[in-house]
Structure 1
Amino acid sequence: MSATHIPPGTPGQPAQKAPEVWDVELLRVLVSRNGKQVSAEWAIHPQLKHDLLPHEWNEVKDLMAKVTTIVGARFSRVLAEAEPDPPGNA
């Protein structure tokens, strides 16, 4: 079985070239753990940081600090529910 791609267009006329699409990661939030220690970090694309005005950059930093706090706390809570502390000797 084979499939054939027929480009859009009208018969006898060449198809218009579709615009090239790139995936660009502008923001990243990374949550990781080491044992019971959970950390959340964020990063921004260097060009985006360069393009922001100082007050915009401060706003992004404040918002991303809130995001990492929320995501990290949620990850920690879910982790604690999934892997409760084993019973120990007190």
Structure 2
Amino acid sequence: MASQVPPQKPGASPTNNQDVWDVELLHVHVSRKGKLVNAEWALHPQIKADLSADEWKELGELMNKVTTIVGYRFSQALNEADPAPPGNA
């Protein structure tokens, strides 16, 4: 578990007398350039620092599977929604 908490965003208000934090711990980014789909992931630096070597290895393996699945599904959705235009032969 992360041991540090970033400051509260401006304009955010406490709820039920408790502070509410909006922190991005895990990020999966999928992008495309033409027909090439790229999926990447990132982890909050403090969480990475708090993980043991074995936990980091296990998380890396799991997240690589996640990005493969997400990238594949994104690619499928793009092909269905935006088929390649017919070419000139």
Same fold, TM-score > 0.5, yes or no:
yes
What is aligned with 1:46?
Answer: 45
> Larger relative contact order (C-alpha < 8 A, sep ≥ 6)?
2
Cα drift, residue 86 of structure 1: 1.6
Kindly indicate whether residue 9 of structure 2 is the aligned counterpart of residue 33 of structure 1: no
What is aligned with 1:9?
Answer: none
Unpaired segments ≥5 residues, structure 1: 1-16
Structure 1 residue runs of 4 or more that deviate by more than 3 Å after TM superposition: none
Cα drift, residue 26 of structure 1: 0.7
Question: What's the TM-score, normalizing by structure 2?
Answer: 0.78
Unpaired segments ≥5 residues, structure 2: 1-15
Percent of aligned pairs sharing the same letter: 65
Q: What do residues 6-32 of structure 1 show as CA deviations (whole Å, max 9, x unaligned)?
A: xxxxxxxxxxx7011111111000001
Question: What's the TM-score, normalizing by structure 1?
Answer: 0.77
**After the TM superposition, which residues 6-21 of structure 1 pair with which residues of structure 2 at under 5 Å, given as runs?**
18-21=17-20
What is aligned with 1:22?
Answer: 21
In the comparison of the two structures, how many residue pairs are matched?
74
